[in-house]
Structure 1
Amino acid sequence: MNSAAILAGALLLDAIFGEPDWLWKRLPHPAVLMGKLVGHLDRKLNQGSNRRAKGVLAVSALVLCGLASGAVLSLFGPVVECLIAAILIAQRSLCAHVNAVAQGLRSSLADGRRAVAMIVSRDTGTMTAPQVARSAIESGAENLSDGVIAPAFWFLLAGLPGLIIYKMVNTADSMVGYRNLRYRDFGWAAARLDDLLNLLPARITALLIALAGGQLRQWRAIAADARQHRSPNAGWPEAAMARALNCALAGPRSYDGEMRDFPWVHAAGARSASAETITRSVHLLWYSWALALGLTVAFALVF
């Protein structure tokens, strides 16, 4: 069985079953184990001098660990590969978390803020309803790339080792890839390698969203909008989603009590996003997923 066929099965398994609580209440999720490994390396190495070199060492250890574990697990055959890939792809849980924000907003602004605080790192306590909605939409677009398309891409390219290496690096970036005093040097390698590994997947995700939203003719505008974003990769799926919804995304937001004046993505779009806009974005996430699944099945049949 080729990698594309295994991946198609994994995409379907994740879409059907998602993250079953009964299982992960009894067993540690692989993403949790990855986080513990990153935390251990952070505690042991992120101190003293030469922190950038130590960060490179930590990321090298993560890559080697991902390579070894992926190679060993692959020996158990395509069924195990499919199951592990399904566990490490997060389409259903992503859509559930984004949709929960829409449900929260329909109940009250406070409920919307509580729901969006589960999926974003920015300050949520004083957000308006449109800010809550835009935050959820941005998170959904970015995590379609990080949590679904990029893992699928690296599985197709390098099998289970490629997928696990990607998840290791992405987990490290989410934990230590910050430009603050503690992680500016130690997290440099994780952040740069994550940027590299997401370079193509982010643009593929933008293309899928543009196709799903009927905005392919706006590709040049999407590319121009993406370059306005502070991230070299996250701006691509966000720009495509912004055009598909005709909604302005990104823009100023607060972190740790400090307002940061980030540029708008698709500044001419509406800024009055609502629960209904979130719901439309979730539909686009599923349409994009369906396109990815169709392409994967086509690869399986051709190769």
Structure 2
Amino acid sequence: MALTAVAAVALAFVLEVVLAEPPASVHPVAWLGRTVAPFDREWAHPKVVGALVALVIPLVAAALVASLVALAGRVDRLLAAAIAGLALFTTTSLRMLLGEARAVVAATDGDLDAARERLESLAGRDASDLSAGEVRSAAVESAAENLADGLVAPLLAFAVGALVSLPVAAGAAAWVKGVNTLDSMLGYRSKPVGTASARLDDAVMWLPARLSAVLVAVAGLDLSALTRASEHADAPPSPNSGWPMATLAAVLGVRLAKPGVYDLPLGEEFPTVAESERGVRVVGVAGALSYALAAGVVAWS
């Protein structure tokens, strides 16, 4: 089973490098989003509905994926590995994240309005009044935060699940992606129906966020960045996102901030274009390390 699990991780990595993302029309996460969308409204008992949604939808997604891999395993082990790899690929995202972050950073050097517009889809914040440095800060922050959400968390879930079986591994990755998707769609203070999703995501992301910080420090060849980051990691409202963001700020020696929300003063100035580009590269190396780590764990299992 270890070899098939390693093959699944390797396939997910190759697909990430070659394809970046499946087309939206056939992306399972897009299907999941369409399933969740009808729940994004007012309810008479929003917290009860939200708790059911948070518990049921990720479990259904996990059960479907695990069942598909298990059925494939009855036919052929390589087929099961291929389907598990495809499933893992759909739960992760790195190349597109890095590409978008690089594009935003590059645009700040010549077309700030274009950079602001592109940032809105990357970081989900109003960028209309942000300076060039603040836009670059947001791009770097987003790359660090999404390393944890979009890559390390599902890879970690897959690796832990592989200690049990390949279907459980694929199902675990799908479950984590379901939890994260619900949080991204519903987990806002203005949406009571998303309270349970937000709390569950906070719990699920506790370890991946801190592991991502370690990977960023290793990728940046600066393990002491973890110590410096620890003094500021609790600045963001999220109990988790501050760890990879503050660690990357420490590696780069820059200030990262979301105006009116949090400030990570690991340097005096917002990142320059060159510093931001280095930050994106560090996240890319950390992402590659996370694949290697997942492969090593499943090989050991």
TM-score (norm 2): 0.89
Task: Judge conservation of contact 1:206–1:240 (CA < 8 Å) in 2.
Answer: yes
Q: CA deviation at 1:300?
A: 4.1
> How many residues align structurally?
284
| 1:36-74 Cα distance to aligned partner (Å, 9 max, x none) | 11112334xx412x2111110111221331232122221
3-state SS of paired residue (1:215): coil
| 1:110-154 Cα distance to aligned partner (Å, 9 max, x none) | 121122122122211121100110000000000011001111111
Q: Is 1:8 equivalent to 2:7 in the alignment?
A: no
Task: Judge conservation of contact 2:32–2:178 (CA < 8 Å) in 1.
Answer: yes
Task: Judge conservation of contact 2:246–2:266 (CA < 8 Å) in 1.
Answer: no
Give 2:278's aligned residue.
Answer: 280
Q: Distance in 2 between matches of 1:216 and 1:33?
A: 40
Larger CA deviation: 273-282 vs 74-83: 273-282
Q: CA deviation at 1:251?
A: 4.1
Give 2:51's aligned residue.
Answer: 56
Residue of structure 1 aligned with 2:213, choices 182, 203, 206: 206
Task: Judge conservation of contact 1:141–1:241 (CA < 8 Å) in 2.
Answer: yes
Give 1:104's aligned residue.
Answer: 107
Give 2:252's aligned residue.
Answer: 245
Q: Distance in 2 between matches of 1:272 and 1:217?
A: 21
Structure 1 residue runs without a partner (length 5+):
253-260
Look up the equivalent residue of 1:61 and give its one-letter code: V
3-state SS of paired residue (1:210): helix
Larger CA deviation: 75-84 vs 170-179: 75-84
Look up the equivalent residue of 1:234 and give its one-letter code: S
Q: Distance in 1 between matches of 2:281 and 2:64?
A: 35
Identity %: 31
Structure 2 residue runs without a partner (length 5+):
73-79, 162-168
3-state SS of paired residue (1:226): coil
Runs (4+) off by over 4 Å: none
Give 1:29's aligned residue.
Answer: 27
Q: Is 1:165 equivalent to 2:164 in the alignment?
A: no
3-state SS of paired residue (1:143): helix
The root-mean-square deviation of aligned C-alpha atoms, in Å, is 1.7
Give 2:131's aligned residue.
Answer: 128
Q: Is 1:71 equivalent to 2:81 in the alignment?
A: no
3-state SS of paired residue (2:227): helix
Q: Distance in 2 between matches of 1:297 and 1:164?
A: 18
Give 1:233's aligned residue.
Answer: 240
Residue of structure 2 aligned with 1:137, choices 134, 140, 147: 140
Q: Distance in 2 between matches of 1:5 and 1:221?
A: 37
Distance 1:132 1:14, change over 3 A: same
| 1:79-127 Cα distance to aligned partner (Å, 9 max, x none) | 1111121122111111111111022223311121122122122211121
3-state SS of paired residue (1:167): helix
TM-score (norm 1): 0.88
Distance 1:212 1:186, change over 3 A: same
Q: CA deviation at 1:249?
A: 1.1
Look up the equivalent residue of 2:240 and give its one-letter code: N
Look up the equivalent residue of 2:187 and give its one-letter code: G
Q: CA deviation at 1:271?
A: 2.2
